[in-house]
Amino acid sequence: MPAKTPLPTTLAGRHVRLDPLTMSHLGELFVAGGQDEEVWRWQGGPAPQTQDELGTKLGVLLEAAERGEYVPFAVIHRASGRAIGWTAYMDIDVANERLEIGWTWYGRAHWRTAVNTESKLLLLTHAFEELGMGRVQLKTDHLNHRSQAAIARLGARREGALRRHFRRPDGTWRDTAYFSVLAQEWPETKALLSARL
């Protein structure tokens, strides 16, 4: 079966629901982590200081989605019904059956909870079982040890790093650590993630 292009959709779990991201989520997102320097430390720029500044970042993502470059989701915490972060499919290459899960952030109150595990379980399940992808990649700054540990806990395999990959906002150079899950690894990874929940 050929891979399919991801489209905006809702993916529902027990702890989170992933809804198509829109500007209507802005207020809740700002409350969740809009000004938190630690949340934005690795997101490619300083933390937004106002809701309008976060809106500018959100607008960039939504414009990229309009061009078909991203399929972004608002991460909705089901217990509160509020948006607590966002995540996206990106680097989508249907011909080669691959995509990336990235530009992910959650409010700090939800770190090391079921939020990330279930969000990734929903996204990976959709990518492999409904879209027919053969590879899903995740990447992060080589200095972002918290993110690398979180990705490894998902069962993704570290592939290596692209050295001097791109310049950070402060002018220093970032090496980018790459991880992936392949279709043949998905059943084992899915079992691991399900068990962790």
Lowest mean pLDDT among 38-52, 119-133, 139-153, 181-195: 38-52
Amino acid at 181: V
Q: Is the pTM of this model over 0.85?
A: yes
**Domain limits of the chain?**
11-196
Which class does domain 11-196 fall in? alpha beta
Q: Phi and psi for 58 in degrees, rounded to 5?
A: -65, -40
pLDDT per residue as tens digits for the range 124-181: 999 999 999 999 999 999 999 999 998 999 999 999 999 999 898 888 999 999 999 9
Residue 116's CB: how many other CB atoms inside 10 A?
Answer: 22
Length in residues, the chain: 197
DSSP class of 197: -
20 token code pair: 């198509």
